[in-house]
């Protein structure tokens, strides 16, 4: 059972890392779809780049046990920031789309890093 839990932890962690790298890179390189989505929230090119760098940084911190919590905290904070912008612009659909990603970060924090002993 403990092995199964470690596998689930690793899969969830790798999923969060992949999504963070993919979305962060899209923000930093100013992909048109990403700029359009953030533009709806009144986030300009510079803001998108800054948010992308934060997202990339958080994804790069997650794999290491010593920075695992900090990476997940940054990831969750950036998701929460986007959720707040969605609510400010009265986009409930966009807000609801972000909820599973925030929950993923919280579940990963709760489960802990798969390579550390409990």
The verdict on residue 12 lying in a domain is yes
Give yes or no for residue 3 having a pLDDT over 90. Answer: no
In a domain, 29, yes or no: yes
The domain in which residue 52 lies consists of 2-111
Q: What is the SS3 assignment for the chain? A: CHHHHHHHHHHHHHHHHHHHHHHHHHHHCCCHHHHHHHHHCCCCHHHHHHHHHHHHHHHHHCCCCCCHHHHHHHHHHHHHHHHHHHHHCCCHHHHHHHHHHHHHHHHHHHHCCCCCCC
Question: What are the pLDDT digits (tens) for 36-73?
Answer: 999 999 999 999 999 999 999 999 999 999 999 999 99
Residue 118 lies in a domain: no
**116 is a domain residue:** no
Query: Is 28 part of a structural domain of the chain?
Result: yes
- The total domain count for the chain is 1
């Amino acid at each position: 059972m403990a092995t199964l839990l470690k596998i689930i932890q690793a899969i969830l962690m790798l999923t969060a890392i992949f999504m963070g790298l993919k979305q962060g890179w899209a923000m930093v390189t100013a992909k048109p779809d990403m700029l359009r989505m953030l533009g709806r929230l009144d986030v300009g090119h510079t803001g998108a780049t800054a948010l992308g760098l934060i997202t990339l940084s958080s994804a790069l911190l997650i794999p290491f046990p010593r920075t695992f919590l900090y990476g997940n905290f940054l990831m969750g904070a950036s998701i929460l920031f986007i959720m707040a912008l969605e609510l400010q612009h009265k986009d409930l659909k966009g807000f609801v789309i972000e909820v599973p990603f925030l929950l993923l970060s919280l579940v990963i924090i709760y489960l802990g890093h798969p390579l550390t002993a409990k």
